[in-house]
Amino acid sequence: MPFRTSRPIGSMGEHGGLSVDEPIRVRVLVVDDYERWRQYLCATLREIPGLEVVGEAANGLQALEKAKNLRPDLVLLDIGLPQLNGIEVARRLSKISPESKIIFFTENRSPDVREEGFRAGGSAYVIKSDAVSELIAAINAVLKRRDS
């Protein structure tokens, strides 16, 4: 499903609220092993019109299973996951859900890990401490590339 917006998906309002002329629906899977962070991120994303959190996963194997069943448009993926790290999840995700775009959302600042994330299929890489405003900008950039 193509994403059509006439304005960017992120005006940097209180929660980076969407500002669009026509409705869109972006199905999001959130993958992070730290439960409180995952809950915060999901709650924040649910406040943004046009984004629908369709699932959550706490480890890499759950992420693959949920992506296979849910076919999200977008996967927000931590790198430091138990059972299967985020880089390997991204590699496998490109085979089981190739239409899903991946945004790594992590505390890992290593340039080597960042590069490996992009090689594994990531479309963006956001540092968690840069918080939600950077994430909304990354979502906008990824969806814009997908729409063109």
- Residue spans per domain, the chain: 26-147
DSSP 8-state code for residue 130: G
pLDDT on residue 83: 96
Span 110-118, average pLDDT: 96
Q: What is the mean pLDDT of the chain?
A: 84
Q: What is the largest CA-CA distance in the chain?
A: 42
Residue 109 has pLDDT above 60, yes or no: yes
pLDDT on residue 23: 55
Confidence of residue 110 (pLDDT cuts 50, 70, 90): very high
Beta strands 101-106 and 124-127 are: parallel
Cα 51 versus chain centre, distance: 11
Confidence of residue 9 (pLDDT cuts 50, 70, 90): very low
Residue 116 has pLDDT above 70, yes or no: yes
Q: CA 67 → CA 1, 25, 41, 79, 141, distances in Å? A: 16, 17, 18, 16, 21
**R_g of the chain computed on alpha carbons:** 14
Span 76-81, average pLDDT: 96
Options 2.60.40.2480, 3.40.350.10, 3.40.50.2300, 3.40.50.300; CATH for 26-147 is: 3.40.50.2300
pTM: 0.81
- The two three-digit tokens of residue 132, written as one number: 């939600």
CB proximity list for 109: less than 8 A, separation 6 or greater: 127
Q: Is the dihedral of CA 53, 104, 107, 134 positive or negative?
A: negative
